[in-house]
Amino acid sequence: MLQDADYTPTEEEKNIRLRVLDIVAGTSVDGPGLRTSIYLAGCDHACPGCHNPESWAHDGGREMSVAEIMDTVRENDFNVTFSGGDPLYQAEGVTALAGAVKRAGYTLWCYTGFTYEHVAAAPRFAPLMEFVDVLVDGPFIESMRDTALLFRGSSNQRLVDVAASRKAGGVVAWSRD
């Protein structure tokens, strides 16, 4: 069992709401092992060839509280990935969800069309980066598509070890080792 049995949602987590397209438990394509992937609505990158263009609308999906999302996460008991859309377009709510995910004892991967450098330099994303273990960064570029890549779609995208990158002051690639 991965989860922390003492996890209880805060009042804030019961009230903060996110636009969620889908929650898929038991996926193996959005990070190592079996994971619960939370697909969040909203993306302005509009990458040509995007595998999920229906996720671009900011009002797509359904509204869910952080506590409701965590009920599903804990029910399935897999580590967690945020995808979309681009989760960073809901930065405040996603930060609250990320804090709950980590408090409950799960690892967290997050996909974004922004680069790590952009995210690291933007004060509004700093609280979220405290919780993310691996950031899969960069827009999907159709001409760089590579189906052999691990956990990403185009060769410009990186698997960034966030804690190591913050400590080093630059991008450190995630490694399975």
Q: Is the residue at 70 inside a domain? A: yes
Residue 129 lies in a domain: yes
35 falls within a domain: yes
Q: What is the CATH number for 58?
A: 3.20.20.70
Report the pLDDT value the prediction gives residue 10, as an integer from 0 to 100. Answer: 83
* Residue at 176 is within a domain: no
Q: Residue 8's pLDDT band (boundaries 50, 70, 90)? A: confident
Asked if the model's pLDDT at residue 5 lies above 70, the reply is no
Q: Tell me, yes or no, whether 3 lies in a domain.
A: no
- Residues 160-171 have pLDDT tens digits of 999 999 999 999
Check whether 23 has a pLDDT greater than 90: yes
Q: What digits encode the pLDDT tens for the residues 62-90?
A: 999 999 999 999 999 999 999 999 999 99
Euclidean distance between CA atoms 95 and 5, whole angstroms = 21
Indicate whether 173 belongs to any domain: no
The reply to whether 174 falls in a domain is no
- C-alpha distances in angstroms, 24 versus 10, 103, 122, 162, 165? 24, 21, 29, 24, 29
How many domains are there within the chain? 1
Contacts of 82 (CB under 8 A, 6+ apart): 37, 38, 40, 94, 97, 98, 108, 109, 110, 111
pLDDT of residue 51: 84
Boundaries of domain holding 32 = 11-168
Tens of pLDDT, residues 85-132: 999 999 999 999 999 999 999 999 999 999 999 999 999 999 999 999
Instruction: Confirm whether 175 is domain-assigned.
Output: no
